[in-house]
Amino acid sequence: MTMLVGKKAPVFSASAVINGGEFVEKFSLEQFIGKKHVVFYFYPLDFTFVCPTEIIAFQRRIAEFEERNVAVIGCSIDSKFSHWAWLNTPQNKGGIEGVKYPLVADVNKTIALNYGVLAGHYNYDDNGDMIWVGDEGKDSVAYRGLFLIDKNGIVRHQVVNDLPLGRSIDEALRMIDALQFFEENGEVCPADWNKGKDGMKGTAEGVASYLASH
């Protein structure tokens, strides 16, 4: 897995579906630089079972991300047409109708590869091109990766789950709160920190003082 924390988020320009049904041909995270934090997450496939629970959960709590000035963006290896069809399928029939934030189409799987979340076994040929070991590449999908990207385009947090393991929206929000607390106050966030709790100075004395008072 690629470790991107502390590095520039890989750039891309790809098709996406926004506002629940509008096609955009050159969607990029660069539009948020200097304006918003971004939660960019991958899910394996459209029209599956665990994925809609996550996608809809993000939408149900989208106001909590928006009040923190955070853009939520999903991505899978499906086409924009598959995204559109799923977005226009009622939730009681297995769809994700009502989801309004962008879903990116990573048909060539290059975005997932660059973010280090593409499942399967692959190697590189003498030209540096990716080659799959066996036939796994035909059906390869993205792991459940999530990346918190700051306004400078730097990845500040990443977590990757295997395919059967759904993510926690609460934890995504907690990481946003922790990052924004640090940015605003210059204090670091100790174990199990939550919004409203004290931070601590990033020094040995600061750690000792925090532990003594808790």
Q: What does the CA dihedral 149, 153, 156, 160 come to, rounded to 10 degrees?
A: 50
Looking at 1.20.1640.10, 3.40.30.10, 3.40.50.2300, 3.30.9.10, the CATH number of the domain 14-167 comes to: 3.40.30.10
Residue 172: phi, psi to the nearest 5? -60, -45
Hey, which residues are catalytic here? 51
How far is it, in rounded angstroms, from Cα 13 to Cα 105?
10
Task: Dump pLDDT digits (tens) for 110-166.
Answer: 999 999 999 876 667 777 766 665 544 456 899 999 999 999 999 999 999 999 999
Residues 6 or more apart whose Cβ sits within 8 Å of residue 130:
113, 122, 123, 124
What is the rounded average pLDDT for all residues in the chain? 89
Q: What is the pLDDT of residue 132?
A: 61
Question: What's the pLDDT at 27?
Answer: 97
Q: How many CB atoms lie within 10 A of CB 100?
A: 13
**pTM, rounded to two decimals:** 0.87
Looking at residue 204, its pLDDT comes to 44
In DSSP terms, which residues pair with 38 in a beta bridge?
71, 149
Please state the rounded mean pLDDT for residues 48-68.
96
Q: Tens of pLDDT along 13-35?
A: 999 999 999 999 999 999 999 99
Partners of 124 in the β-ladder: 130
Nearest-5° Cα angle at 44, 41 to 45: 115
Specify the domain boundaries for CATH 3.40.30.10 within the chain: 14-167
Dihedral, 116, 120, 124, 130 alpha carbons, nearest 10: -80
Predicted local distance difference test score (pLDDT) of residue 203: 53
Is the pLDDT score of 211 beyond 70? no
Sequence-ordered strand ranges (E) for 51-98: 70-76
Residue 54 in this model has a pLDDT that exceeds 70: yes
